[in-house]
Structure 1
Amino acid sequence: MFENLLPALNDHNLPYPDTIHPIVVHFVIAMVLFAFICDLIGYFSANSRLLEVSWWNMFFATVSIFIAIIFGQIEAGLAQAYDAVEPVLNLHTLIGWSLSGIIAAITAWRYVIRLRDPKKIPMSYLGVGLLLTILVFFQVYLGDELVWVYGLHTVPVVEAIKEGVL
């Protein structure tokens, strides 16, 4: 009944030309990692301008991660995940949603720190930033595995699923 209202899916099994989630999520990754680097350098060099750069990167990363998750959920739903990929896709999804809350909470904490003294951050914030960086790298590993190992939304894998090979 509603099938006529939906756009047709292409060779990548998407209603638009290519995946959008990786494009948006790369901004999030870059902003979070750059924010941590700016915090490190700003902390050890006492350069408060770098702390301001870090704050704005975390702010925009917080907004962007929700956009990345929306497209990630759409694209995961259209991926026609086969048995071997499901555990990795489920873990990637769980960590992605968790990261949205973690990044939002860290950004809120950073905002409070910025209000109290915009020229300093505590060492504990750097420790949390390091843990966030490690978690982001693990999430990147899982995302790379979904594309480069399992081939989600690649033409050969989509065709194999349609032909019943996978």
Structure 2
Amino acid sequence: MGFAVIAFRSEEQSRRDLERRLLSTRREQDKQDLAEAEQVTISFSVGSTFGSGEASGLRVSVRNGTSSTDVFKLSGSHDDFGTIGYKHALTPGDTYTQNFLFGHMNAARPDTVPVPVGPARQEWLDDHLDKIEITFELRDKRWLRRGGRPAEEVTN
């Protein structure tokens, strides 16, 4: 009977040790996945202007800054200007760009967009960056990113 108790305790200890190692490995992988998701970045810029303060084009760019991981099912939107589109795969180092055109007949908006000049311009661009939200898949996980905020794993 004593031998059976010792064997049972030994098995239980081995099982707990294995569970701890698996949990630690999973946490490390989650940290690495988040670090890679953070390398998928968004930028917002003025593409073209009329005169000094009217934009006829604005540009959203999403860059896969990872060194070896593809990003899949990239999509998103800008709160004021609409969808960013869809890109099935974005390889490491590549950038996907969506241009929003304004001020002509075939544009999304018939009027140009006023853009501040001087120091207020960067603040205006930063405010618009925060209006951009993207989702993408990386390492079989779904991620959400809004502007320059940290990436978040999306769970269903």
Fold similarity call, TM over 0.5: no
Is the helix fraction higher in 1 or 2? 1
Larger radius of gyration: 2
Which structure has more relative contact order (CA 8 Å, sep 6+)? It is: 1
Is the strand fraction higher in 1 or 2? 2
User: TM-score, structure 1 length as denominator?
Assistant: 0.28
